[in-house]
């Protein structure tokens, strides 16, 4: 935790307390984060920390993303956190890593300012973690590619301005060697939002099914190399899983804080609930697990910043932190009693939001297989 990272942490925390906590409930009801809020984040430099300096970013490494994710997790609004992190660390990173200079110059300044919000379209109705099995097709016709297919569970899918879309461009070869990434702007003919999805949690993130019906995309919108998109997706998964782990740590830590405050005030059987040894010890163990996840996360971010191979560490971290966060939420809701089951309770919302963490960005079972391959 360098001084630079402390400054970022404090800046994010101030923004969350001033802009997110007072308004998050209204965003939950609306099903989206207002775009002026995202532009305000861009104005103070929080949306471009990983982007190149020459295009308006700060040129920072993985630890900065981890600090951002952990502090967003402490907001208690997982949908807000997802909206931001998909933009900063999941979708736009494809552009900064693999885009041409012309593509970067065209889009990255607006992305850093929050004027262009991005989404990533990989998952399909029948394809989740099996990226090589995509069915969306992109066939070359002259100077264009024609896209046909559907994408599912796309965060920022309703209101994004720019989409990074994965499609199969060669039917004759194995899936992992036939995927290409494309930049598709909102409003492109043949591209539409099929429907906004109604989710268990992350209520204030707009999530959509996307539809491509003879959608023509210029060849100049190919993102990276043709038929190399699978490897780009796999590479960027490391960053996605790292920030989701930071989100899990932030959410779990905040849930413990809220629960400790509640237990010290809540009277039962003539004393605060905190006086019950069984409760104290369960929270103590959870606190140790959250700290273990936090230390593992920052070590893994350091490995990434050093350019070291850390697929095993990232995969293990993603599995561990997501499961820890859900254990924390389960017990914290339990210790809130009946109030924990009420929609007006912060811990109820946090428990719903955390449930997706062992699913999104790579299911726990898939993560453990990645670790097992490297044992």
The catalytic site residues sit at 240
The 3 state secondary structure assigned to 51-64 is CCHHHCCCCCCHHH
How far is 295 from 108, CA to CA, in rounded Å? 32
3-class secondary structure per residue, 287-338: HHHHHHHHHHHHHHHHHHHCCCCCHHHHHHHHHHHHHHHHHHHHHHHHHCHH
* Dist CA 347 CA 367 (whole Å): 27
Picking from 243, 347, 318, 330, the residue whose alpha carbon sits closest to that of residue 286 is 330
What distances in angstroms separate CA 248 from CA 128, 199, 200, 294, 310, one per listed residue? 21, 18, 17, 9, 19
Query: DSSP strand E in the chain: where?
Result: 118-121, 137-141, 144-155, 162-168, 179-185, 191-196, 207-218, 222-223, 267-268, 271-272
Name 375's Cβ contacts closer than 8 Å, sequence gap at least 6: none
CB 146 within 8 A of CB 127: no
Q: Are strands 144-155 and 162-168 parallel, antiparallel or unpaired?
A: unpaired
Q: In whole angstroms, give the CA distance from residue 196 to residue 123.
A: 15
Q: Which of 67, 68, 75 is nearest to 42 (CA)?
A: 68
């Amino acid at each position: 935790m360098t001084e630079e990272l402390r400054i970022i942490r404090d800046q994010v925390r101030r923004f969350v307390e001033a802009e997110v906590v007072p308004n998050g409930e209204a965003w939950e009801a609306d099903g989206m984060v207002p775009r002026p809020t995202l532009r305000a984040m861009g104005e103070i430099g929080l949306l471009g920390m990983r982007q190149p300096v020459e295009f308006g970013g700060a040129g920072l490494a993985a630890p900065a993303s981890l600090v951002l994710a952990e502090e967003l997790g402490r907001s208690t609004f997982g949908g807000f956190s997802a909206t931001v992190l998909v933009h900063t660390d999941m979708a736009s990173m494809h552009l900064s890593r693999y885009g041409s200079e012309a593509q970067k110059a065209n889009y990255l300044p607006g992305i850093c300012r929050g004027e262009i919000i991005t989404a990533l379209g990989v998952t399909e109705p029948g394809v989740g973690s099996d990226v090589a099995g995509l069915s969306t097709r992109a066939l070359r016709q002259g100077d264009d590619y024609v896209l046909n297919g559907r994408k599912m569970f796309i965060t920022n899918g309703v209101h994004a301005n720019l989409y990074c879309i994965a499609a199969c461009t060669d039917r004759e070869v194995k899936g992992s060697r036939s995927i290409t990434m494309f930049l598709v702007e909102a409003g492109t003919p043949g591209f539409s939002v099929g429907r906004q999805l109604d989710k268990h949690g992350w209520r204030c993130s707009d999530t959509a099914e996307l539809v491509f019906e003879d959608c023509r995309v210029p060849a100049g919108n190919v993102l990276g190399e043709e038929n190399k998109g699978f490897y780009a997706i796999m590479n960027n998964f490391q960053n996605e899983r790292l920030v989701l782990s930071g989100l899990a740590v932030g959410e779990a830590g905040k849930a413990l804080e809220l629960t400790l405050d509640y237990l010290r005030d809540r009277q039962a059987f003539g004393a605060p609930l905190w006086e019950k040894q069984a409760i104290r010890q369960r929270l103590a163990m959870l606190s140790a697990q959250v700290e273990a996840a936090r230390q593992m996360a920052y070590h893994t971010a350091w490995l990434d910043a050093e350019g070291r191979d850390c697929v095993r560490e990232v995969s293990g971290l993603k599995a561990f932190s997501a499961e820890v966060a859900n254990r924390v939420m389960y017990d914290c809701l339990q210790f809130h009693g009946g109030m924990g089951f009420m929609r007006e309770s912060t811990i109820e919302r946090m428990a719903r939001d955390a449930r997706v963490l062992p699913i999104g960005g790579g299911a726990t079972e898939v993560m453990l297989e990645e670790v097992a391959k490297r044992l």
